[in-house]
Structure 1
Amino acid sequence: MKKKIVVIILLLIFLLFFERFYFFILKQVYPLRFTDSIKKYSKAINVDPYLICAIIKSESNFNQFAVSRRGAIGLMQLSPLTAKWVACKLELDYSREKLYDPDYNILLGTWYIKYLIDYYKNDTKLAVAAYNAGMSNVDKWLYQKDRATFEIDEIPFKETNHFVRRVFKNYEIYKRLYKSEFENGDD
């Protein structure tokens, strides 16, 4: 009986240690940076902050200096053309160099994903697909299917299909891993 109790106590100690180690490792794989900007703009623009985290993780892994093969820049990997359009809509000065500024990039990216969410009538899946493939492609897919939505596995672009899956996987992980980070409070 004493042996069982010792084993149970050791097992509990191991699980407590393992859980802390597990979350430590997970937070290295799923970093969270620039929380002040994410909080500020997700609240002001009314976008789920975990969605912004998931997009940033999927696009740049929180690397503010990331540049894609196609020329998308910064944390949220905005194309200069899209960023310029958003800056114009927000009546902000635009320069390509500003896209490396986390605060500016998160503002533009958050506004843009909100624009897409509104455009697709709160269908976040379509908005995320359009964030990656462009609105014209998503609109074409909808037209071809003659419906208002589609499932992720119906996305014909392999890259966009993987991107949407990755964003939603990251969304769930960020929501669990940093569950108290964006709770209501003093922002």
Structure 2
Amino acid sequence: MERLKIIEADITTLDVDAIVNAANSSLLGGGGVDGAIHRAAGKELLAECRTLGGCKTGEAKITKGYRLKARHVIHTVGPVYSDGRHGEPELLAACYRNSLAVAAENGLKTVAFPLVSTGVYGYPMEDAARIALREIVTFLIKHPEFEQVIVACFNRRAREIVEDAKLNMEI
């Protein structure tokens, strides 16, 4: 699956059609990836996000990228992890499915994701990586016109976890 790329990188620096923001439901910025994307994109991103009326967990909305190399930002709200038995896996899968659907609907061909919900929302990285890869690979199989999906990991440990999950996938 050459159209799926796993890298260690700052997602805000990537030159792709869209980067995915692991946002909070207000879409008005926060910590982690969300704060970094808002800082890098500039105040125009916040202004556009104010017009969107927030976002529910599992859903996705698109904005311009402003000062980012990425032309767009797809905002998705991941679940806060409790114990994995309160709908978290389904909601996390929906984040990837809906973000990719928004990308396809907007004619985008390259998208970069962080590992949604694995920061302050506490989703176990191994479980999140399996869910992310399953959804991404399923999408890529159904959409041969889509050029590439990148999983941008914030450190070596995260990259190794995602690479291990990819090696253990049944495609």
Common topology (TM > 0.5):
no
Q: Whose RCO is larger (CA < 8 A, sep 6+)?
A: 2
Give the TM-score normalised by structure 1. Answer: 0.27
Indicate the structure with greater strand content. Answer: 2
Indicate the structure with greater helix content. Answer: 1
